[in-house]
């Protein structure tokens, strides 16, 4: 990421005029660096707000839209999630965390890495572009700054067996090709765009590794049961968890 010197501040004020005023100065600077790298002209107000981050739509000079995910720099929820999911991940086993900003930056890098692996394996996720400290830039799922609806927001007539089967197909690709388990999959973190599901919020996702087989299986069962419960309640005939598990290759050897 290039260093910034002597830039005009007027343009910066236009860029961030609708960004949450509670964002701290360092995060604001991180946003500025990311915006320079991606040639972003405008950042709009948050389109989603979770326990660990907010997501903002951003428009580039060429009209391309990005989603900027900004992780809170001080939250007990993020720290608990980090301890549960990241310290058990072999990719981060040797990491040394000495302050809050470091573990938030690591949490952001973990989501970036997970998105990259999933995207390259053919899972339908937002394409990741870059991550800098607590700011993750990725593909915007939607049109002109308006995000696509979450699965939970769809009207009942759009919740179909075809959509259910497509989500199952994404789970199979996640496990068998990307070798990743989402760990928190539900109607709250699947977006539907052009009748196709997109998996989002993968910061807690973990890679399949034989050293944590039981955790993997427990998380995977919960993911499947969450999806089955949602569709079953809306009149869709679902496949049993046991049958779905037979499609999955959990052993990494």
Please give the Cα distance from 149 to 113 (Å, whole number).
25
Burial of 100 (0-12, 13-18, 19+ CB in 10 A): middle
Is residue 163 within 8 Å of 238, Cβ to Cβ?
A: no
CB atoms within 10 A of CB 49: 11
Report residue 150: phi and psi, to 5°: -75, 160
Structure token pair of residue 127: 């394409």
Report residue 85: phi and psi, to 5°: -100, -35
Burial of 203 (0-12, 13-18, 19+ CB in 10 A): buried
Which residues form the catalytic set?
A: 184, 201
Please give the Cα distance from 121 to 79 (Å, whole number).
29
Q: Which residue has the tokens 């890098």?
A: 109
Helix (H), strand (E) counts: the chain = 7, 12
């Amino acid at each position: 990421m290039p260093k910034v010197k002597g830039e005009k501040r007027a343009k910066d004020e236009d860029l961030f005029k609708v960004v949450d005023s509670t964002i701290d100065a360092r995060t604001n600077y991180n946003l500025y660096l990311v915006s320079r790298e991606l040639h972003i002209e405008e950042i709009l107000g948050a389109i989603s707000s979770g326990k660990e981050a907010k997501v903002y739509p951003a428009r580039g000079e060429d009209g391309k839209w990005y989603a900027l995910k900004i992780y809170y720099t001080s939250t007990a929820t993020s720290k608990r999630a980090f301890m549960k999911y990241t310290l058990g991940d072999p990719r981060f086993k040797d990491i040394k965390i000495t302050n809050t900003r470091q573990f938030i930056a690591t949490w952001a890098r973990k989501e970036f890495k997970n998105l990259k692996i999933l995207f390259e394996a053919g899972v339908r996720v937002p394409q990741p572009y870059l991550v800098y400290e607590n700011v993750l830039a990725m593909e915007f799922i939607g049109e002109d700054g308006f995000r696509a609806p979450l699965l939970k927001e769809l009207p009942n007539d759009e919740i179909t067996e075809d959509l259910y089967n497509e989500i199952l197909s994404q789970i199979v690709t996640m496990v068998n090709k990307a070798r990743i388990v989402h760990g928190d999959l539900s109607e709250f973190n699947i977006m539907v765009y052009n009748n196709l599901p997109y998996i989002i919020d993968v910061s807690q996702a973990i890679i399949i590794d034989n050293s944590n087989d039981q955790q993997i299986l427990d998380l995977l069962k919960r993911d499947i049961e969450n999806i089955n419960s949602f569709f079953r309640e809306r009149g869709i005939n679902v496949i049993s968890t046991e049958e779905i598990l037979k499609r999955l290759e959990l052993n990494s050897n």
